[in-house]
Structure 1
Amino acid sequence: MRILVTGGAGFIGSEFVRRWLTSEPTAHVTVLDKLTYSGVEENLASVARHPGYRFVRGDVCDPDVVDQVTAGQDAVVHFAAESHVDRSITGAGPFVHTNVVGTQVLLDAALRHRVGRFLQVSTDEVYGSISEGSWTEEWPLAPSSPYSASKAAADLLVLACHRTHGMDVVVTRCTNNYGPHQFPEKVVPLFITNLLDGKNVPLYGDGRHIRDWLHVSDHCQGIELVLRGGRSGEVYNIGGGTEVSNHKLTGLLLDAVGADWDRVTYVADRKGHDLRYSLDDSKIREQLGYAPRFPFAEGLAATVAWYRDSRSWWEPLKTGGARG
C-alpha cells in the first residue's frame, strides 16, 4: 500500500509513520510536512533508511506540491494541522488556513488522482464540552475555540466529499494524547520539562477541567484499524478510558519528578475553556477490536522517563533553536 501522511514529522504523525513502516516492510510512505515550529524531521530518523520512505518538505495548502505527492497514492492519512488552542485564541487565521483550506486542497487532489481512502485525523474537541456521560459519533458538533471550530469544519468537508463524490473517507476523533516526541507546549511535556528544569508550571483556574488521556501509540493503533477496516463515510471515536482532572494530572507529574506544589503557579483560566471531554468509543471497540494497551500510570511514567533522557531533543525546541 502506498500512503501519503501529512504532518508526518509531528508528534502523532511520526508515531504513525514509525509504527507503519516497522510493521510493513514492503510499505511505501510519503511524508509531507512543512516543518513548522512543532514539526521535527528527527522524529523520523529511525525509519529514514527504510526503502519505502520518502520525505517531502511542503505545505498542505500548496496545490502544486499536494498534487505531486498525491499522485499514485492508495490512501491519505491527514494529520497536518495547527493544533494549539491558546495560539488559536490569539490568532485564528493560521488555523483556518491550514486546517480548513489545507484539507480542501488535499481532498481536491485525492479526487483528481482517485486515491482509494482518505482518513481525516480529528479531535474530541469538535464536540465542545460535556458535563455528564460521553459523546458518541452522532453527537452534534459544538466547538468552543477557533482550533476546534477549524477541525470541525475540516471534518465536515471530508464527510461532504463522501456524500457528494462518493469518496472513500473515514474520520477519527481522539482524546488528549501524551507520549514521547510531543512538542513541549502541550500540558504533559510542558509540565515535565519545566519541572526537570527547576521551573514552575502554570495551572489554569483551579485545575478542575477533566480530560480523557490516550497514549499516542494506542491512538495510532486505532488509526491503523480504521484505515484498514473502517466503514466508508463513518466517524470513529478513539478513547483512552482514563479521565483525569488537570489538578490530579499536575499532582502525578509533580510526584514523578519529586517536586512539591510550591512549583505550581495558578493562572487565569483560558477563554472558553471546556470543562470536560469524554468519548464513547464502543463503536471502534466493537466493530474493529480496538483496545488501549497502555495503562495510564505506566504510560505516564514511561513518558516522564523519555523526557528525562531526551534533553537533546526538547531543549532546542524550548529555546527556539532550529531543528531539521
Structure 2
Amino acid sequence: MERSEHFIALPLVSKGGAVPLAIDVVAKYWGEDLKAPEWQQQNRISTLIDGIELAEKAGLACYVCKGSLKDIKKRIDQGVPPIAIMPGIQDVAQHATIVSGYDSDERRVLTYVPEPDTVGAIPEPKFEQDWEQDDSTMILLLPSDMQDLLKNDRLEFAKSNRLCLEAERLRLQGRMDAAVEKLRQATGADPENAAAWSQLGGAYNEQGSDQAVACYERAIRLNPKYYLAYRGLGNYYLKKKDYALAEAHYTKATSINPSRFGPIYKNRAIARMQLGNNAGAKQDLETYLAQTPAAADRKSIEEAISQL
C-alpha cells in the first residue's frame, strides 16, 4: 500500500532479542542501541519494564498511560511512535504493537511489522475496539529533551500503569506478596484504572484468595470490555469448581473477542464437560486446536475430542 503522509519510518529489527521488540525498535528509532544484561541475553527473558528501564538508562523518557485514537494521531504527527498494548493471538494474551502512522482517507491505523517494507493496516473502528479490551494503554518513549511535547497532556494512569508493569515482573519472579503490594499501590494511586484492578485480581487469584472476585468485578465496572477480567473470573470459578459461573465468564470473554486467546476454549471445554455439555466441549476443544496450532497437548486433546 502507499505510505500515508502521517507515517514514521521505523528501523527493521529482528525478533528474538533480549530486549522487548517494541521497546527495541522505538529506542533504535531514537538512535539508542539498547544492550540487555548478560543474564537476559542468555535466558531471553525480559519484561516490558526491563526494556523501559534500559531505555531510561540510555537517556530516554517513558510514560505508560491511557490514550485515545486522537492521542495516537497527535503523537504520530509529533514524530513520536506510540506503543499500544493490544490483544494477542493463539496462546499469547496480549502484546505490544508499535503504531507507525495513520491514513486519514482510508481511516486506517498503520502498525509496525518486523518484515522489510511491510506495515499492518487496521480500520480505525477495529483498532479502537481491540485496544479498548486493554483499556487503551499506550507507552510513549522519547528523548528526555523532548518531554516538553507532553507538558500540556494529562497522561492518565501514568503512575499506576508503571506500578503494574513493575508488579508483572515481580509476579514472573515468583514474588507474589511483593506483586500484590505493588498492585495495591497502583489501585490506590489511580482507583479508576481497570487494568490495575484486573491485575490485582489476577495476583489474588494466583494466591487462591477470594479477594480476586471483587477486584475483577471492579475492573469490569470501570471497563465492561476488559477481556482479561472476564477470563480471570472464569479461571477463578473453574478452580472453585463452580462450572456454571466459569462457563458464563469464559463465554462473556469470547463474546468480546472470539480469537484473542486460544487456551480459553480448552478451559471452557472443561467447564462444559462437567456441566454435561459434551457437544459444546467438543466444539471448544476443536476451536482451541484451530486457534493454537502449536499446542503442546495437541495429541491428548485430539484423543479427548474423539471420545466426546
TM-score range, shorter chain: under 0.3
Q: Which has the higher contact order (CA 8 A, sep 6+)?
A: 1
Question: Which protein has the bigger helix share?
Answer: 2
| TM-score normalized with structure 2 length | 0.27
Higher share in strand? 1
- Larger Rg computed on CA atoms: 2
